[in-house]
Amino acid sequence: MPIVIHGRGGRRSRGTSSCSSGARSVARGGGRRGRCAASGRGTVVSFIRTHHFFLPNMTEPYFTVFVSLDEQADIVMPGSWHHVDPPAIDMQVQVFYDDIPTDDGNVALVGWQPA
């Protein structure tokens, strides 16, 4: 399942974003709206090490990483981290989806791993 960027405009948007297909969406001032699939790649801009778990089957401690998407740097996606080495700032990463079993079924979480 790819990540999809939706351009809508507004105060937090900066400039424009480009889709690999060549389409552009204006991200400022409420102009054209665009939609394109993202590559699922980005750069770690921040991370936290959590010592308290929120879902019963998660182990602690664990990392949550915040990734700036390659397609538009001001879009930052949080996600889980499942690698033996801890994340690092400016590390290139690739998205994956992690199914976490719960009492009510599975919960799909966005995760990141080294690219």
CB-CB contact of 70 with 18 (8 Å): no
The answer to whether residue 14 scores a pLDDT higher than 50 is no
Domain boundaries, given as residue ranges, for the chain? 1-37, 39-115
**Mean pLDDT, the chain, whole residue set:** 75
Distance CA 11, CA 103 (A): 40
Amino acid 5: pLDDT: 44
Task: Write down the CATH number for the domain with range 39-115.
Answer: 2.40.50
Question: What are the pLDDT digits (tens) for 26-67?
Answer: 444 555 556 677 889 999 999 998 887 776 666 678 889 999
- Tell me what the mean pLDDT of segment 85-109 comes to: 89
Segment holding 45, helix H or strand E: strand 41-50
CB-CB contact of 93 with 110 (8 Å): no
Taking residue 114's Cβ as centre, other Cβ atoms within 10 Å add up to 13
pLDDT bracket for residue 25 (50, 70, 90): very low
Taking residue 85's Cβ as centre, other Cβ atoms within 10 Å add up to 8
| 24 alpha-carbon distance from chain centroid | 20
User: Could you tell me which of 110, 13, 98, 9 has the C-alpha nearest to residue 67?
Assistant: 110
Distance CA 10, CA 13 (A): 6
Amino acid 57: pLDDT: 65
The answer to whether residue 2 scores a pLDDT higher than 60 is no
pLDDT bracket for residue 19 (50, 70, 90): low
